[in-house]
Amino acid sequence: MRRFWDARQLAHAPALELHNGGFVPFAEAPARAEAILAAIGPTEPAADHKEAPLRAVHAEDYLAFLWSAHKDWRAAGRAGDASGYAWPVVRRRPLALDRIDARLGAYSFDASSPIGAGTWDGAYWSAQTALSALDAVLAGERSAFALCRPPGHHAGADYLGGYCYLNNAAIAAEAAVAAGKRRVAILDIDYHHGNGTQDIFYARGDVLFVSIHADPRMDYPYYWGHADETGEGPGAGATLNLPLPRGTDLGTYLPALDAALAKIADFAPEQLVVCYGADTFADDPISHFRLRTDDYAEIGRRIAALALPALIVMEGGYAVDALGANVATFLSGF
Ligand SMILES: [Zn+2]
């Protein structure tokens, strides 16, 4: 399987995040990518597809905000990473405010995603890495892996959050549609619900979104990922959420995976995008499933049995010591 990575993703390196009421070292650290690289062998660099594929998914004003946010933060006299502390209440009327703090609140949904000096570059090349791996699949490869970091699945069309700034998988899925794929299925198997991806395609009938994740009544991102969210308008029925309880092991996980795969097979997509998060691992420091390293081989095998052209995009996974083995085992099973 061809593997893609671009070292410019390492430019994104915030120092701290707000977690459980205190500031702690930023968990989505460059060391994650380095651990995966050490385990998966040689990679190919990303090609620059410029901003058009980003604009096909993200709002113009959001991209402009993300590009300038850290510069604006510094211009306001601040040190360190830009982070919001005030958010508009749901259904508050939109206001075009200039203040960097107001814009940080308006374009984000949590305080765990600081914007550093290198965040735009890191997120930009993460998205380009997904697009480059997609190119390989569109050119005839059965599958390709995009080592994306920062991850993307929590980022919506006009908001960041959950360590995510640009939605790599959504950008690639939209590019696949633009390349002529009439139906694209996204399977998200990160521990957390991919709320941004769901939002982006919620009213679309040509992009199926299927997610297996921790029950959002207990776990982040709380406000999305409930089983009764199934899509709307032309997208009615094209979203499937399969929330699972804390403590889920392989025996509980596999029936949900088989249900997800059956839904995808029924949809008969021409392209599959797999959002792989290794934070379902038993020893993940911020998650509560009980999957073991060897389990990822079986999960990879079952997804591959769909026999669809597949782009695999890296999402979360924070047990850095085991991360390389978890990713390599999933890819080898696939
Ligand atoms: Zn996650």
Per residue in 77-90, pLDDT (tens digit) is 999 999 999 998 88
Catalytic member of 154, 192, 193, 213:
154
* Residues, Cβ < 5 Å to ion ligand 1: 190-192, 277, 279, 316
Measured between alpha carbons, how far is 45 from 291 in angstroms, rounded to an integer? 31
Task: Give yes or no for residue 293 having a pLDDT over 90.
Answer: yes
Q: Note whether 207 and 317 are within 8 A (CB).
A: no
Residue 91: pLDDT band with limits 50, 70, 90: confident
**154 carries an active-site annotation:** yes
Residue 305: pLDDT band with limits 50, 70, 90: very high
Measured between alpha carbons, how far is 270 from 261 in angstroms, rounded to an integer? 14
Q: How far is the CA of 231 from the centre of ligand 1 (A)?
A: 22
Residue 94: pLDDT band with limits 50, 70, 90: confident
Q: How far is the CA of 95 from the centre of ligand 1 (A)?
A: 31
Q: Note whether 43 and 145 are within 8 A (CB).
A: no
Q: What percent of the chain has pLDDT over 70?
A: 100
Q: How far is the CA of 76 from the centre of ligand 1 (A)?
A: 32
Q: How far is the CA of 212 from the centre of ligand 1 (A)?
A: 11
CA distances (Å), origin 98, targets 28, 42, 156, 185, 237: 29, 45, 21, 38, 39
